[in-house]
């Protein structure tokens, strides 16, 4: 158990605020650094800390690399942040890594791309309902100084624990040491330093973070480096936040599985359609894992998370090797030594703490297989994840597991649900005896609409940023 300084940790790291049903993600641009720092100093006491359960609202704040520079962090400090954070997610090789090409290219983004203003600050405002949300936003916006609003991204849809494709979400969240008293299995219990800077990670090391000479903190706001360097730690109790706005083609997904499973006479086969959709995801709509219930949904297993793949389902006869949840969280199934503690150790070094929310209205069930109306609103996911190492966690999972067409000895298959589907790697196989079932020409179901990397500082670090001169 780590001696986690919860009072200095922003609340979004500790909890997803599931009881608060409405959220706004407000992207700001700094115009006047002096005024912006004064404004940050004024709101710093109102940032929700980890111990606060937030009865009716919560407020958290994060910064892009360019935002930190605008606030006044010097180059000698910025150089200590990772290349992933300072370069951002729109570099050419990251576009290829994430499949942000064609309709998902940053040039087409609504925010965060080269054709839009650069975001500097993210305010995550979360409330019990839309009325309280709008009240809190109005009060907050009335205090803005030195900043201007780029966009306000609202999430006020409640899908009862599911995402827009219709599947239960957020079941396999890791348990982080020190963040709660919840008891979990050892494979799903992750060391604090994987998600919060300044603590030991799964390598028994401290993740790199910005360390400053004491003279750069004349007000003694920052904590000392626990490793004994004599410096102060700007990163301690903070983390990195990945934000991507992902539009979901819900009708396209269900029309594909309907078309792929029609009977010989051309009629829809509802059971087979739902079976294929579940095997692409790796869980049934209730959340029941396909690896434990391969033939039909079983709501009694809706929250099941204590299972492995290697011995019970090594070849993917229950849950296909390429299914979304098996890629995003392979558990014990990958080298080295699948089925052993060494494989689990690898998986634990690439976990993500997810804090995303849906946006846009759900597709009415009676029009799920019809052509969308001309004014059909966009719907999707504000994908938000937290991690101490962007490259080893988010980017690794996206490149090596989700979008990798050769994941775990596959050949030409990216993630069937959220992966990039260019011609040649838009296939999906379900192992069967004596011959696999193979589906080809999967269309793109998810399109990137915006994104950025943010630093979510500890509360002492936030006060330090507000004190810069």
Under DSSP, the state recorded for 432 is -
Rg (CA), the chain: 22
Output the DSSP codes for 202-249.
TTSSBPP--EE-GGG-TT--SPBPTTS-S-EESSTT-EEEEEEEEEE-
pLDDT at 2: 55
Encode the chain (469 residues) as per-residue pLDDT tens digits. Answer: 458 999 999 999 999 999 999 999 999 999 999 999 999 999 999 999 999 999 999 999 999 999 999 999 999 999 999 999 999 999 999 999 999 999 999 999 999 999 999 999 999 999 999 999 999 999 999 999 999 999 999 998 989 999 999 999 989 999 999 998 888 999 999 999 999 999 999 999 999 999 999 999 999 999 999 999 999 999 999 999 999 999 999 999 999 999 999 999 999 999 999 999 999 999 999 999 999 999 999 999 999 999 999 998 999 999 999 999 999 999 999 988 999 999 999 999 999 999 999 999 999 999 999 999 999 999 999 999 999 999 999 999 999 999 999 999 999 999 999 999 999 889 999 999 999 999 999 999 999 999 999 999 999 999 999 999 8
Please identify which residue in the block is written with the tokens 């050419």.
92
Quote the tokens at residue 423. 């011609």
What is the pLDDT, as a whole number, of residue 258?
A: 97
290, 282 contact by CB (below 8 A)? yes
pLDDT of residue 3: 87
**Three-state DSSP class for 296?**
coil
Supply φ then ψ for residue 27, to 5 degrees. Answer: -100, 125
Helices (H), 75-171: 75-78, 83-87, 92-98, 130-141
User: Could you say which DSSP state residue 18 is in?
Assistant: T
- Reported as type and span, the H/E element at residue 417 is none
* β-pairing verdict for 239-248 and 446-456: antiparallel
φ/ψ of residue 410, rounded to 5: -75, 180
Tens of pLDDT, residues 397-456:
999 999 999 999 999 999 999 999 999 889 999 999 999 999 999 999 999 999 999 999
* Residue pLDDT, tens place only, 368-401: 999 999 999 999 999 999 999 999 999 999 999 9
Query: Tell me, what DSSP letter sits at residue 405?
Result: T
Contacts of 280 (CB under 8 A, 6+ apart): 257, 320, 323, 324, 416, 417, 428
Structure tokens, 348: 């634990």
CA dist list (Å): 94 to 84, 121, 390, 433: 9, 22, 12, 38
CA-closest candidate to residue 419, choices 437, 433, 405: 405
Taken in order 225, 231, 236, 242, the sign of the CA dihedral is: negative
| Residue 54 φ/ψ region, left for φ over 0, alpha for ψ in the -120 to 50 degree band, beta for the rest | left
Phi-psi map region of 178: left, alpha, beta (phi>0 left; psi -120 to 50 alpha)? left
The pLDDT, as a whole number, for residue 1 is 42
Counting runs of H as helices and runs of E as strands, what totals does the chain give? 14, 15
Torsion angles phi and psi, residue 440, rounded to 5: -120, 165
Distance CA 434, CA 340 (A): 28
Phi-psi region at 201: left, alpha or beta (left = phi > 0; alpha = psi -120 to 50): beta
């Amino acid at each position: 158990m780590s001696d986690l300084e919860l009072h200095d940790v922003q609340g979004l790291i500790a909890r997803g605020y599931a009881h608060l049903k409405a959220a706004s993600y407000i992207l700001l641009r700094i115009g006047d650094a002096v005024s912006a720092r004064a404004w940050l100093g004024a709101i710093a006491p109102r940032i929700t800390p980890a111990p606060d359960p937030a009865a009716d609202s919560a407020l958290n704040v994060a910064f892009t690399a360019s935002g930190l520079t605008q606030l006044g962090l010097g180059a000698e400090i910025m150089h200590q942040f990772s290349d992933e954070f300072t370069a951002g997610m729109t570099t050419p090789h990251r576009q290829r890594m994430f499949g942000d090409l064609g309709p998902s290219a940053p040039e087409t983004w609504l925010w965060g791309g080269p054709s839009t203003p650069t975001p500097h600050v993210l305010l995550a405002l979360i409330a019990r309902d839309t009325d309280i949300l709008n009240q809190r936003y109005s009060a907050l916006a009335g205090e803005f100084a030195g900043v201007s609003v780029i966009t306000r991204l609202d999430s006020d849809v409640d899908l009862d624990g599911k995402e827009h494709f219709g599947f239960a979400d957020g079941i396999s969240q890791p348990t982080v040491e020190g963040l709660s008293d919840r008891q979990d299995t050892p494979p799903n219990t992750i060391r604090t330093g994987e998600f919060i800077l300044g603590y030991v990670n799964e390598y028994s090391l401290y993740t790199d973070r910005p360390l400053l000479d004491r003279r750069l903190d004349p007000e003694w706001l920052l904590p000392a480096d626990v490793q004994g360097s004599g410096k102060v730690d700007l990163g301690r109790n903070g983390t990195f936040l990945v934000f991507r706005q992902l539009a979901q083609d819900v009708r396209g997904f269900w029309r594909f599985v309907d078309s792929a499973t029609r009977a010989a006479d051309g009629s829809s086969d509802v059971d087979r359609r739902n079976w294929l959709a579940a095997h692409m995801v790796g869980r049934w709509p209730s959340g029941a894992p396909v690896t434990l219930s391969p033939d039909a949904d079983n709501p009694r297993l809706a929250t099941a998370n204590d299972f492995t793949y290697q011995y019970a389902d090594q070849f993917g006869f229950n849950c296909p090797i390429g299914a979304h949840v098996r890629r995003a969280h392979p558990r014990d199934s990958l080298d080295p030594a699948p089925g052993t503690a060494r494989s689990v150790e690898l998986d634990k070094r690439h976990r993500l703490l997810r804090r995303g929310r849906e946006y846009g209205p759900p597709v009415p069930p009676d029009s799920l297989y019809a052509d969308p109306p001309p004014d059909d609103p966009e719907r999707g996911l504000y994908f938000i994840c937290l991690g101490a190492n962007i490259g080893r966690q988010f980017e690794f999972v996206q490149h090596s597991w989700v979008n990798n067409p050769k994941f775990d000895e596959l050949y030409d298959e990216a993630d069937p649900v959220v992966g990039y589907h260019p011609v040649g790697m838009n296939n999906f196989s379900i192992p069967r005896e004596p011959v696999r079932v193979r589906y080809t020409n999967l269309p793109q179901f998810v399109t990137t609409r915006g994104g950025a990397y943010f630093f979510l500082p500890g509360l002492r670090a936030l006060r330090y940023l507000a004190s810069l001169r």
